[in-house]
Structure 1
Amino acid sequence: MSFRVRPANPDDFDAIYEMAKLTGGGFTNLPADKGTLVSKLAKSEDAFDKVEEVQGNDCYIFVLEDPAARVIRGTCQVFGQVGVTQAFYSYHLSTLTQWSPELGKTFRNQMLTLTTDLEGSSEVGGLFLHPAMRAGGLGLLLARSRYLFIRQHRERFGDRLLAELRGVMDQAGNSPFWDALAGRFFDMSFPEADAFNAVNGTHFIAELMPKSPIYVSLLPDAARAVMGQPHPTGRAALRMLEGEGFAFDRYIDIFDGGPTVVSRTDQVRTVREAVAEKVVEVGDGGSMKMLLATGRLKSFRACLGEVRRIDNEGLALSADTAALLEVREGDTVLAVSR
């Protein structure tokens, strides 16, 4: 495989901007706004340059590249901590059970409560793979490379990791959940609000939303049907997250109703199972494929590599794999089964 994941740099702007224009909206972390993307790349540069191995309000942006062809076909992000400079709001879906002796009936009502429960968590997000490349395991590489980076820099991330998935919307970009709830309090459509949030952040609108619990039964059927459901294009991403150990804990996005899934950071499969291996040979990698990573901060590289185990000494890598990772015999790589 000729693709690898590496930290983004300002020279990647054009490729990232072109991918942002392909998202179709709803990707708050990847807006098709040049000024915002320039600022995000600058913030990412600062994060990779940071010397202190401590958790902070950092954003790390990565790209999926074919270095030989000099093309970029994907991107993803990791956030060190949410809710630091702006409150991180979610709706939590709960059940209120009430018993009426006079009627002899039990009534169960679902409620949406505005909460900042997830404040202080780290987040994985902003994952986008070019439509022409959605085959061959590249999405898996892009997604799981983030967990290897977290493993390499564990002190920079919290004990809880979350991922927000885009909610359901129609072909015009309208969200049934927004139209039924938040849209009733603001004079803007969901596409307008989405564009505003991508550039200015969610804080302004979130602060003006009603703080009282919302009875789900008061919402129209169209809104109730999409609560906690990912956009159809995000179902594969949800399956990958669930395979890593993330679970839906009844938190949903306050704008489009998409699901938020969470996991203890150290229990994420790739974080938990990755082990350090010595590169003892470069040449014939064999037929076994593993997810590999090496390097720290701006030197971080990850790829799906061809490897062969040599007794208890370490791994033999194919020449192509070693070139993608920029490693030689005697170096160490993080390795985890595919």
Structure 2
Amino acid sequence: MYLLRQALSTDLEALIRLAKLLDTINLPADPEQMEGLLKTSHSAFAGSTEPDQAMFFVLEDSNGVVCGCSNVIAHHGSPEAPHTYFDVIEEDRYSRDLERLFSHLVLRLGTSFHPRTEIGGLVLEPSHRGQGVASLLSRSRFQYIAAYRERFCERILAELLPPFDPDGSSPLWKSLGRRFTGLEYREADRLSINQKEFIEDLFPRGDIYVSLFDEATHRVIGAVGEKTKAVELMLRREGFRYQRRIDPFDGGPHYGAPTDRVRSVRLTRSCRALARASGNRSALVAALEPFRSVRTQVELTGLQVCVPPEALSRLEISEGQEVLVTPLEENLS
């Protein structure tokens, strides 16, 4: 049985291995950066309210080997480090003389100082995909948010990865960002971890017409990469929608939802655990302090939940203790 738990300092090597499958600013493959993120993760789990501190979760297989990870940032965006994005605006232009109508996509740089919760850094080793554990790895973050609702913001943001070139570069960055910063995509992406001022200082402030870009660049704006489509589907089922905003580096779409309307936040409830044979409902069952979660079959009866004894053992709790239960739709993986 798979177990999702809070990441520990001893998970550094495993997280670096997973990061090499993704290598983004939320999950860097650099050991020194990852070690620093684990330290701030510990502080965030302990209740720190500092902005942009990611809480890291890891997924263990039945042998205790880490095979996946994900994270959640309780407060992203502040006066010191604002959230930066491009609004994607549709604009129609018509000429009476030519009797022609043109519809344009326009990018407009924006910043927000109001914090929002952000989820990201989700990686699952290929050999473990298709076994129903993606729900545990992803939705357990919403279960954690429900457990400590007061720590999180009124909206949740998810920045999805767009299609990239075969060499890992971004078509949008090559057409836009590189021309205004003189930086390569990966260099700028890593620089933005601690320094975001260069985006506001150097990016154009006026409207940018997408029709000026080549077709390859046009196609990635607001598009979801092939490897991220399953995540998009999961987010839509949770109530997330495209916000018509994109990442200014790679053009990846921003999905968002009010926190209290996210399905797994809304349906999570506290129950007393009873050690019984499996029920007929798939759910996430979690223990707190420290947070641990499994996916199993349950039977809900009022404020009690029947949970297989092996699931309680995996959570390291006994019958009669309080657990969090998040029902899953049967057709979700």
Q: Give the TM-score, by structure 1 length.
A: 0.90
> Does structure 2 retain, via aligned residues, the 8 Å contact 1:306–1:321?
no
Aligned length, in residue pairs: 327
Paired position in structure 2 for 1:62: 57
The counterpart of 2:165, out of the listed 164, 170, 186, is 170
d(CA) in 1 for partners of 2:121 and 2:292?
18
Question: 1:222 pairs with 216, 221, 232, which one?
Answer: 216
Which of 294, 298, 317 aligns to 1:307? It is 298
1:333 aligns with 2:323: yes
String of CA shifts for 1:107-162, please: whole Å, max 9, x gaps.
43221001124841110111111121112111111100000100011111111111
**Separation in structure 1 between the aligned mates of residue 303 and residue 71 of structure 2, nearest angstrom:** 34
Following the alignment from structure 1 to structure 2, what is the Cα–Cα distance between the partners of residues 225 and 239? 20
1:232 to 1:167, Cα distance in 2 relative to 1, 3 A: same
Q: 1:182 aligns with which of 144, 156, 177?
A: 177
Q: How does 1:21-100 map to 2 (within 5 A)?
A: 21-23=20-22, 25=23, 27-50=24-47, 56-66=51-61, 69-84=63-78, 85-100=80-95
Residue 328 of structure 1 deviates from its aligned partner by: 1.7
Instruction: Tell me the distance in 2 between the aligned counterparts of 1:206 and 1:32.
Output: 27
* Unaligned runs of at least 5 residues, structure 2: 329-333
User: Bigger CA drift: 203-212 or 231-240?
Assistant: 203-212
Q: CA deviation at 1:205?
A: 4.0
How far off its partner does 1:293 sit? 1.7
| CA separation of 1:143 and 1:117: change in aligned 2, threshold 3 A | same
After superposition, what is the alpha-carbon deviation per residue over 1:32-71, rounded to whole angstroms, capped at 9, x for unaligned? 11111011101011111227xx6854321111113x5221
Matched, 1:152 2:147: yes
Q: Distance in 1 between matches of 2:113 and 2:183?
A: 27
Which amino acid is 1:17 matched to? I
Residue number in structure 2 paired with 1:246: 240
Letter in 2 for 1:129: L
Contact kept in structure 1, 2:51 and 2:77, CA below 8 Å: no
* 207 and 146 in structure 1: CA distance in 2 versus 1, 3 angstrom threshold: farther
How far residue 208 of structure 1 moved from its aligned partner, in angstroms, is: 2.2
1:197 positional shift:
3.8
Q: Does 1:316 align with 2:306?
A: yes
- Structure 1 residues 87, 313: CA separation in 2 closer, same or farther (over 3 Å shift)? closer
Q: For residue 136 of structure 2, what is the amino acid of its counterpart? A: L
Structure 1: 4+ residue segments shifted above 6 A:
none
Decide whether aligned partners of structure 1 residues 207 and 168 sit closer, same or farther in structure 2, where only a CA change above 3 A counts. farther
Give 5+ residue unaligned stretches, structure 1: none
Q: How many angstroms does 1:203 deviate by?
A: 4.2
| Shift in CA distance, 80/283, structure 1 to aligned 2, threshold 3 Å | same
- DSSP-derived class of the 1:89 partner: strand
2: distance between equivalents of 1:77 and 1:270?
16
What is the Cα-based RMSD across aligned positions, in Å?
Answer: 2.0
**2:9 and 2:39 in contact (8 A); partners too:** yes
